A and B are shown apart, each in its own frame.
Chain A
């Protein structure tokens, strides 16, 4: 197990480097540069101003030198400096990452737990009205664009009903501490986390349902029934345990993808996480920040994939790990 994990980590480093080089070239292929954007926001600039900015960004260097400088830094965990935000990128990401981890973590757990429960419930009585309701809802959540759900949620629960805050991470200026602060953040978390979670919940629900139905037709389940085992035992120990494997695969992949969904959710709900940081950085061509976020999210995806593989073994001991 240890050898397997170490092997994967070494591979991960090379994959990360490849991601960095690829992203670096991709970003620099887009038209416009941060100096032009910053000058554009100022509404006026002369040649000297633009030249000064480009020199500060290092944009006056040839591309391969910029890449080399960046890679050298990245290997030593120096992610560069954001001139736009006037902060080292590593510091910037560290200050934004907890908010994103909280949001995506809650959304992920929520969607996985509720999705699996709903999927099991729907599959238990295939074709019943309960199944139809759950399946239809899942289809609806799956098909509705995230930003629309986000806007409607904030319209209904924040503007009309006034139950929940429609944006932000905490009540600004309230100065809550301790438990009051935790409750305040939790209240702010409800809308963005459920918005982000809905889509993924729908996926897990559909996946679990399909997988449960498939497994329930297999021979060993028939055998278990023939043995006269209780329905709930068959459901839980025989079907669910086997049906979960594809769900775990998918969840592992989506744990990385949920970062992508966070970009939109964080922007609509003014959640101060790295998804929004990246969105703004792309608009502003803040290269160092974009690459920094790619770096971190790339590392996260690799980490989640590794964790998924380890979980496989725990759920199904028949699976062997080979590097």
Chain B
């Protein structure tokens, strides 16, 4: 059924050194990269902390076994090649020879086993759930790792990136209290850059790893991550030449066209394919009148999402078609129609049980764009005859309100991690509906049929079977409208055009700047 996937070392080397680096001439060595980081990360030990800014900086320091192209095809990082057995239960990785940690100790299969089986099981909440599918990990020799799964788990090949499965040095952490290990302040990985200095509130400095196992890489000498708390000042930092790379979300969206039009400035919205950030509005299905399907359908058709994309997001991103982002595996584009249609929305609202109650809309406290968006949604819903009140909050208050289900409608966006079993099912499974966390099934969507289909689809060995199963799931969920899907967000990475290859994989800047070089001509 499942064809054996075998990648010859030569093919992998081609993919790595690859056409991306070649298209802009010969890479030049040297130079300093200045990048904005926001907010300041709480720490850089990515096995313990997984928030966005940590992932961005730590992606240069730590590596995992694989990396992923824009279409999520895996290629080798610390693994040189790998095979998946036909029953989908055994994954064998051959590691790169001659890889060392930043302190000079060799990286071996024992580090892989320790990282996956001990460290991350203990400290990484996403990995904990993924590792439930792993029966045992064998290390027949220092360069071979074998994962034995309890049952086939389709998404498994998609979890070997540094934010999910970073390789942790066993010789430093084994037998210690991970959270309080003093080494957390001087992170040590196998990556292209080494930690040098962190002046809290000002900058983080990384320097080139001269002993990196890929010849010639990395190209730049060092990286400064500048901590600049105010969005307008981050734009100024780019305009005055203090920083050269603005990762997605660094500046307010209304500043994007101005900065984009500057000389020697390039913009890309690539590099988010793995995360597939999908925005939607939670509907609190516990509250009346949102438990009425007609009300939800009316709201869905009332939202002018094209307008939101063009006016608020500078035309970047895509209008969502349902629960899966189009870059996520098994996305179906032919789901039931949820397009903007105010007439239909009004008619549906007429037939529904809605009789003028005030609906509380909780905005997302992530800056101006989201505030404006909440106002646009209020406008759309008012136009079809609904009463909407926007509830303001800060980030901590938002988290609490979502966790406590204290809202009627609430903006959010979540990552999908490339596979519906990793980042989508959590939103719609009735088993994941208990209050207490802002990322589970907050709407309290209860559909035993989709629950069952989600459970089965995750454990199917064949991609074709999974695709068919997820198509059914998407159709079902879209007809039930448990959320109002908005946009697949397009976060722009802005950089000077002479900085080559800032975004190379489905992880964007989080994948580290291994392939970046600066054209000095």
Contact = CB atoms under 8 A, between A and B. Distances in A.
A276 B228 CA distance: 11
B40 interface: yes
A95 interface: yes
Contacts of A38: 42, 49, 51
B202 A41 contact: no
A158 B232 CA distance: 13
A139 to B, nearest CB: 26
A270 B229 contact: yes
B101 to A, nearest CB: 21
A280 B42 CA distance: 11
A37 B199 contact: no
B128 A46 contact: yes
A268 B200 contact: no
Q: For B222, B401, B437, which residue has the most chain A Cβ atoms within 10 angstroms? A: B437
B184 interface: yes
A127 interface: no
Interface string B171-203: 000000001000011000000000000011111
Contacts of B436: 47, 50
A39 B397 CA distance: 13
Contact of B125 (A48, A169, A269): A48
A137 interface: no
Contacts of A162: 240
Contacts of A40: 395, 398-399, 438
Contacts of A49: 125
Interface in A35-74: 36-50, 56
A277 B232 contact: no
A304 interface: no
A37 B32 contact: no
A39 B202 contact: no
A155 interface: yes
A166 B222 CA distance: 23
A37 B399 contact: yes
B236 A85 contact: no
Interface in B34-54: 34, 39-40, 42-43, 49-53
Interface of B: prevailing SS: mixed
A239 B43 CA distance: 58
Given A41-B51, A47-B437, A272 B202 contact: yes
A284 B396 CA distance: 7
A172 B226 contact: yes
Contacts, number: 157
Nearest to B432: A46
Nearest to B129: A46
B184 A36 contact: no
Contacts of B57: none
B403 interface: yes
Contacts of B242: 165-168, 172
Interface string B400-411: 110100000000
Contacts of A37: 395-396, 399
A283 interface: yes
Contacts of A86: 42-43, 184-185
Contacts of A315: none
Contact of B396 (A31, A43, A92, A165): A31
A269 B233 contact: yes
Given A43-B439, A47-B437, A48-B128, A33 B396 contact: yes
A151 B40 CA distance: 21
B232 A268 contact: yes
A48 B201 CA distance: 30
A82 to B, nearest CB: 9
B201 A276 contact: yes
A173 B396 contact: no
A102 interface: no
B439 A44 contact: yes
B201 A154 contact: no
A159 B240 contact: yes
B394 interface: yes
A32 interface: yes
Nearest to B185: A86
Q: For B199, B222, B229, B242, which residue has the most chain A Cβ atoms within 10 angstroms? A: B229
B229 A267 contact: yes
Interface in A125-182: 151, 154-155, 158-159, 162, 165-170, 172-173
Contact of B203 (A45, A48, A83, A172): A172
A42 B49 contact: yes
Interface string B212-250: 000000000010101111101100110110100000000
A257 B393 CA distance: 26
A151 B201 CA distance: 20
Given A85-B200, A270-B227, A36 B399 contact: yes
Nearest to B228: A270
Nearest to B397: A31
B236 A167 contact: yes
Interface string B130-160: 0000000000000000000000000000000
Q: For B32, B39, B201, B437, which residue has the most chain A Cβ atoms within 10 angstroms? A: B201
A49 to B, nearest CB: 4
A168 B236 contact: no
Given A43-B414, A46-B129, A47-B436, A166 B236 contact: yes
B198 to A, nearest CB: 10
Contacts of B437: 39, 45-47, 50
B471 interface: no
Contacts of A92: 200
A43 B399 CA distance: 11
A38 B43 CA distance: 11
B236 A155 contact: yes
B64 to A, nearest CB: 17
A166 B202 contact: no
Contacts of B394: 32, 283
Contact of A158 (B230, B240, B438): B240
Contacts of B370: none
Contacts of B126: 44
B415 interface: yes
A33 B400 CA distance: 8
Given A46-B437, A270-B202, 4 more contacts: A44-B50, A167-B230, A168-B228, A173-B32
Which 10 pairs across A and B sit closest by C-beta, in order of nearness?
A32-B396, A272-B201, A41-B51, A49-B125, A36-B399, A31-B400, A32-B400, A270-B228, A31-B397, A42-B50
